Homo-oligomer: A and B are copies of this chain.
Amino acid sequence: MACESEKWVLMVTAQTPTNIAVIKYWGKRDESLILPINDSISVTLDPEHLCTTTTVAVSPRFDQDRMWLNGREISLSGGRYQRCLREIRSRASDVEDEKKGIKIAKKDWENLHVHIASYNNFPTAAGLASSAAGFACLVFSLAKLMNVKEDQGKLSAVARQGSGSACRSLYGGFVKWIMGKHDDGSDSIAVQLADEKHWDDLVIVIAVVSSRQKETSSTSGMRESVETSMLIKHRAKEVVPKRIVDMEEAIKNRDFPSFAHLACADSNQFHAVCLDTCPPIFYMNDTSHRIIGCVEKWNRSEESPQVAYTFDAGPNAVLIARNRKVAASLLQRLLFHFPPSSDTDLSSYVIGDKSILQDVGVADVKDIDALPAPPEVKDNIPSQKYKGDVSYFICTKPGKGPVLLPDKNQALLSPETGLPK
């Protein structure tokens, strides 16, 4: 390092997607290293609609590590942040920026502090795996800043120590988190099964479900499941390994019926294990159940499954449609059953890729009231409408992995002060 008094600030900004598991991670065999009891497979979601943007900065002027999340300073004292920072620092290399006259030697990183600013382009509280995208982005951007030369797999093992599912956010497309065997977790890493172009027909609709309930955090929930569920071990040892093989095959062959069957069954089994926990954990609510009922009834009325559903540790439904046409039919059904509250306008009720609304023939909230009942509910109670039970829908698709944002305007920290803009 040239000199303590220098005023330079070196920054990196990156964007990292969130992901949704289609074969679920639930249960750790090592709490502090975050090592799972089974493999899991996820789909990376398009960062255009759901992502974290993080700017990391280093400067000799910084007197401590600091972090801001969505504009508010948060503590970095937690073990998970500390572990990620330590692991990345220990892998840092020499950095030289000739233009700015900056030279940081490998050994200097131990004594330099960082500023971190992170921003989610979706509501943090909505239960959409913000910690996965967040830790992945923290690790990815710090690794770039500190010139870490290890591959994405090794980085995924660092991100894993921040939040288990974060390791899967280091790749786009379809990703497997291999549970690994080693006690030190070095082989518990994510690998890409296929990139996002491999199966680009898929369209994803997320129903963000209104909820009055306080939810059990996934960290404490999965600990309680491991401690008390009589079914979780059987799931991890006997059921998941076969499903992983079958799901890899379904993805490889773009076999939607198998993909849908496995994803739905595995989501339901994860929630079954939650229910088998003592005390029981309920993440899905009546609205979640109704969405499943609607998809199951429709799938059965068709020749083969059109839509897969999966639910994480909360009531929100992630619905994967086999193609865009099916996604429009899906959104039509969802809007029919779950119209918005009277005070909600269409542009805030359906977000993300709004172009699907055109295929549905909905240009205004009034058009929702005019939607016909889907054919498969005709034999049933005429009005099965649950106004206001869904907060909003996000239309998206499988997406790419982490990227650097070289445009300095997208940085969240000031290049002069290293503080949030």
What residues make up the interface of A, taking CB atoms closer than 8 Å to B? 213, 230-231, 234-235, 238-239, 261, 264-265, 268-269, 271-273, 275-280, 282, 285-286, 289, 292-293, 296, 300
Contact = CB atoms under 8 A, between A and B. Distances in A.
A289 B296 contact: no
A287 to B, nearest CB: 9
B285 A276 contact: no
A221 to B, nearest CB: 14
Contact of A265 (B235, B238, B265, B278): B278
A384 to B, nearest CB: 8
A234 to B, nearest CB: 4
A292 to B, nearest CB: 6
Q: Taking chain A's interface residues, is the majority helix, strand, or loop, or is none over half, making it mixed?
A: helix
Nearest to A380: B214
A261 B279 CA distance: 10
Given A285-B286, A285-B289, A289-B285, A231 B278 contact: no
B276 A272 contact: yes
Contacts of A234: 231, 234, 238
A275 B281 CA distance: 13
Contacts of A285: 286, 289
A122 to B, nearest CB: 25
A304 B246 CA distance: 45
A296 B271 CA distance: 19
Nearest to A315: B286
Nearest to A300: B279
A232 to B, nearest CB: 10
Nearest to A271: B275
B282 A278 contact: no
A261 B272 CA distance: 18
A272 B231 CA distance: 9
Nearest to A280: B268
B289 A231 contact: no
A264 B278 contact: yes
Given A261-B278, A265-B276, A272-B272, 19 more contacts: A230-B265, A230-B269, A231-B235, A231-B269, A231-B272, A234-B234, A234-B238, A264-B278, A268-B275, A268-B276, A268-B277, A268-B278, A269-B275, A269-B276, A272-B276, A275-B275, A279-B296, A280-B292, A282-B293
